[in-house]
A and B are shown apart, each in its own frame.
Chain A
Amino acid sequence: GAGVSQSPRYKVAKRGQDVALRCDPISGHVSLFWYQQALGQGPEFLTYFQNEAQLDKSGLPSDRFFAERPEGSVSTLKIQRTQQEDSAVYLCASRQGVNEQFFGPGTRLTVL
């Protein structure tokens, strides 16, 4: 079936704007993860859901970052009052059981 999809693929925001990034996991995958990848760096963990429950949000850098997965499928990562340091690629991954995480193509966010 289809892999993990993310939208939009590219987002340009002015500093101070709110943005919402969407992730559609592989159908039936219980676990969903968000990562932030700065230019030239490896991905850094942001948060983890099991079904609709957010079990780990230790990587969210500030209270401007908020993630939800209300029906245990699609997830949205919201960033309020964006700052230039929020510019990065935001990756979503999903997993079934304890198997590998499958990554989406990412959303490249540029904050001007």
Chain B
Amino acid sequence: GDSVTQMEGPVTLSEEAFLTINCTYTATGYPSLFWYVQYPGEGLQLLLKATKADDKGSNKGFEATYRKETTSFHLEKGSVQVSDSAVYFCALSPLSGGYNKLIFGAGTRLAVHP
């Protein structure tokens, strides 16, 4: 069935370091792909999305490119800040579900220290 695999955390970085969180997926057809973020004490928020192959989603300095050939949607940021500390979830919305439900990875906790 459809699934998402993302790198285990926690990921610990110094401020201004480069961030990559790997995400790969299994799905039939062309799912939509998402990154959600959960800041401490807050609900899930959409960070960015891409709906077709080679699309690049970007927001708040984060970006991810929909790679059909490698079934990947890795999250990157060039220079992280302490305020980026959160849990990041990769997700897909499959064709099989009519692009309605979301299927999430297990989440990757990011800790950025000064």
A contact set with B: CB distance below 8 Å: 3-4, 31, 33, 35, 40-45, 48, 55-56, 59, 91, 93, 98, 100-101, 103-106
Contacts and interface: CB of A to CB of B under 8 A. Distances in A.
B39 to A, nearest CB: 12
A59 to B, nearest CB: 7
B7 to A, nearest CB: 13
A40 B106 contact: yes
A31 B98 CA distance: 13
Given A42-B89, A42-B107, A31 B43 contact: no
Interface stretch (B44-52, B66-74, B78-86): B44-52
State the majority secondary structure of interface residues on A. loop
A103 to B, nearest CB: 4
Nearest to A44: B104
